Structure 1
Amino acid sequence: MLAWLDERLAESGITRTGPLTEFKARSWATVLTAATTAGPVWLKATTPGTAAEVRLYEVLHAVVPDRVLAPIATDPMRGWVLLPDGGPPLADEPEIIEFLPLYGQLQRDLAPHTDAMLAAGVTDMRPARMPQRFAEALAVVDDVPPEIAAMGPQVAGWCARLAESVVPVSIDHNDLHAGNFLRSGRFYDWGDSVIAHSFASMLVPLSLLGADHERGRDAYLEAFTDLAPRAELVADLELACRVGKIARALTWHRAINGEPGPYADAPRAHLVALAKPSFFD
């Protein structure tokens, strides 16, 4: 890995000036960092379940270069992506509100490139596929209550309605917390991404915003007001976020790969949340 890093840096006219050290290790990826003549660089080594992020970066940088970090190098076969430092992330969740319109426009720009993102290996969570995905989640997630398992017809109805939405499918980052918003107006850490109804992306940020969730919702919807009346957009967003819990359950299941730890119950918790009154609970 170190030899690959140094070779790729040299190809970009950069020299490493410090050791390669581990910044973070999770079951789904390991992130390492090193000091260089161009500032810190970050080497992300994905696992097979999240390796699509590497090819996805190539699509993102080609279509929305001002909204993502430009990879210094990628190695899709190994699942490695080498990134420059992107500057500081946001510190608090309320700060994300002013950046949500930028993210919505990113989704609009990427919507015509759905096939390229799917070809990169990003998981298909489009509305028409979600009844099947719900069945898959029930098959792999343990201890799902019977009343949730019985929701198949209701889920199918939600998905049929969502498939008729005028809002396009696009990238769903699937983990939009403050740490993945960079102050430069770019977005970071695409390892959980899926292709879904655009509005499913709001499940995580609106949940984190709590009492400010309506402000966040309205800011985000600014990027879509040409498509439908506001009331229709709000209804679609609530439905997309509810269906998006299924995608989150499967993404968590893939990420933790059965390992014990603080996230072990996340897949089940997201499926159980399907029955909660509020879409962002």
Structure 2
Amino acid sequence: MGHVVRVSSEDGEPVVVPGGSVEVRFAAELAWADGHVRRTGPPDARERSWASVLRLPTAAGPVWLKVTTPRTRAEVGLYRLLVATAPDAVLVPLAHDEARGLLLLPDGGPTLADAPRPQLGPALAGALARYGRLQRAMAPRRAEMLALGVPDAAPEALDARCAEAVAVTGLPDGGSCRAAVAGWAARLADAPAADLVTVDHQDLHPGNVLASGRFYDWGDAVVAHPFASMLVGLGGLARTLGVEPDEPVVHTARDAYLDVFADLAPHAELVATCELACRAAVVARALTWQRAVGDAGPDHPLAGAARETLARWDDPSPFAAA
């Protein structure tokens, strides 16, 4: 018998709850997976409000069955577009079922979160450059992503998204937030890369970047100005290393990413646009939290994350909401 892992600790990290049969709880999903791989033992499961991930042992090593929720189901179709566009930059599913929201993924090996701290900055710098090239390749597929249900957080949609975020979080100073976001969105619409609205992973921390240079876990993805991805891409690096976002190691990673867009504008203008995009990205980030835990109830350990994130809209650091 396997074990079920639920999110119940105060910080939202998974903790094991003994008992419960994974085979019974996920019988239909496992039957689907068994049509694609041959298991050699019982599965384990990590169950969260936004998705459940089952580890399936096989003779060739573990594979991972991801069971999405209706709010994150677009991830399955998004993988299809990503693989068709940049197969060398993503973890390629072994199988997928878009209608049922199921993904069967190979084990991707270690992530950059496992890297020795002195190596993390350079490794992430290389990965972010690769990610920027992926974004440019995906920009022509904007309409396809939206048709799949990937949320729209492009500059021209930010005013509507901000109104939505203010409404669902009950932010007290929502009017001031909306006015600021409207100004940022207008500036972004005329900024470099405005015509390259593309996929924004939304959770691009080192744990979602494989040591092989590939990217996975696209369940939070939105369609946005490309530089919005750096809210978590750079903020997550600073947080992981325990440094401020203006430290040289973070700037080096930022510059490696922006070099992919060097044909669009001078470097200083790209830097300013990156900070602006990250500041505006607080809206999409808040709504990402809402999609993830909004239906989980007020007792969920992350129930306040959407409101807390949006409340950082006026923080002087563009990476405050990372």
Normalised TM-score (structure 2):
0.81
SS at match of 2:36: helix
Following the alignment from structure 1 to structure 2, what is the Cα–Cα distance between the partners of residues 120 and 151?
A: 29
Contact 1:241 1:280 in 2 (8 A): yes
Following the alignment from structure 1 to structure 2, what is the Cα–Cα distance between the partners of residues 258 and 5?
A: 27
- The equivalent residue for 1:199 is 227
- Map Cα deviations across residues 143-171 of structure 1 (whole Å, 9 max, x no partner): x232x432322221110110112311110
- The equivalent residue for 1:16 is 39
- The equivalent residue for 1:145 is 172
Which amino acid letter does the alignment assign opposite residue 156 of structure 1? A
Contact 2:44 2:56 in 1 (8 A): yes
Contact 2:294 2:303 in 1 (8 A): no
Following the alignment from structure 2 to structure 1, what is the Cα–Cα distance between the partners of residues 175 and 109?
A: 44
- Map Cα deviations across residues 96-138 of structure 1 (whole Å, 9 max, x no partner): 2231111111111111111121122211110000001100111
- Map Cα deviations across residues 199-242 of structure 1 (whole Å, 9 max, x no partner): 00000122122333222211211111111111111111111101
- The equivalent residue for 2:187 is 161
- The equivalent residue for 2:319 is 280
What root-mean-square deviation, in Å, do the aligned CA atoms of Structure 1 and Structure 2 show? 1.4
- The equivalent residue for 1:70 is 92
Which amino acid letter does the alignment assign opposite residue 21 of structure 1? D
Is 1:217–2:244 an aligned residue pair?
Answer: no
- The equivalent residue for 2:64 is 42
Query: Which aligned runs of 4 or more in structure 1 are off by greater than 6 angstroms?
Result: none
SS at match of 1:150: helix
Q: State percent identity of aligned pairs.
A: 53
SS at match of 2:281: helix
User: Number of residue pairs matched?
Assistant: 273
Counterpart selection for 2:300 from 261, 266, 271? 261
- The equivalent residue for 1:12 is none
- The equivalent residue for 2:15 is none
Q: Which stretches in structure 1 are left out of the alignment for 5+ residues?
A: 10-14
Following the alignment from structure 2 to structure 1, what is the Cα–Cα distance between the partners of residues 229 and 254?
A: 11
Displacement of 1:244 in angstroms is 0.5
Residue range with higher mean Cα deviation, 159-168 or 148-157: 148-157
Q: Which stretches in structure 2 are left out of the alignment for 5+ residues?
A: 1-28, 239-243
Following the alignment from structure 2 to structure 1, what is the Cα–Cα distance between the partners of residues 273 and 220?
A: 22
Please show how residues 82-101 of structure 1 align to structure 2 within 5 Å: 82-90=104-112, 91=114, 94=121, 95-101=123-129
- The equivalent residue for 2:10 is none
Is 1:172–2:200 an aligned residue pair?
Answer: yes
Displacement of 1:258 in angstroms is 4.2
Contact 1:29 1:47 in 2 (8 A): yes
Following the alignment from structure 2 to structure 1, what is the Cα–Cα distance between the partners of residues 234 and 92?
A: 28
- Map Cα deviations across residues 2-30 of structure 1 (whole Å, 9 max, x no partner): 22111122xxxxx22122221x2110000
